[in-house]
């Protein structure tokens, strides 16, 4: 197999940051009501869910697979 490094373009990184960081906080940004705890919970669940989907092995017991024991 060929061991090549994958270079991620800056545009892709910026778009990912917008999707992962700005979109969950849109309710707070639009309403300007920073004490709205439901919107904070929504944003945290959205970001944590994204992190879990990207690295499911990080959340498993053995750290390698997501197969049931």
Host domain of residue 51: 10-57
Model confidence over 12-69: pLDDT tens digits?
Answer: 888 888 888 888 888 888 888 888 889 899 899 988 888 777 766 666 665 555 555 4
**Domain annotation covers residue 2:** no
Q: What is the pLDDT of residues 39-53, one digit of tens each?
A: 899 899 988 888 777
What's the CA gap between 19 and 9, in Å, rounded? 16
Residue 4 lies in a domain: no
Residue 17 in any domain: the answer is: yes
Domain membership flag for residue 19: yes
Closest C-alpha among 18, 36, 2, 34 to residue 10: 18
CB 31 within 8 A of CB 39: yes
Q: Two tokens at 17? A: 């940051």
| Bigger pLDDT: 5 vs 43 | 43
Task: Quote the number of domains for the chain.
Answer: 1
How far apart are alpha carbons 6 and 46 in whole angstroms? 27
pLDDT at site 41: 92
Residue 3: per-residue pLDDT = 61
Rounded to whole angstroms, the Cα distance separating 28 from 39 reads: 6
- Is 66 within a domain? no
């Amino acid at each position: 197999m060929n061991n090549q490094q994958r270079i991620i373009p800056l545009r892709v990184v910026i778009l990912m940051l917008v999707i992962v960081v700005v979109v969950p906080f849109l309710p707070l940004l639009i309403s300007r009501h920073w004490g709205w705890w439901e919107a904070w919970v929504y944003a945290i669940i959205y970001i944590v869910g994204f992190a879990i989907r990207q690295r499911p092995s990080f959340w498993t017991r053995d750290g390698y697979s997501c197969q049931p024991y």
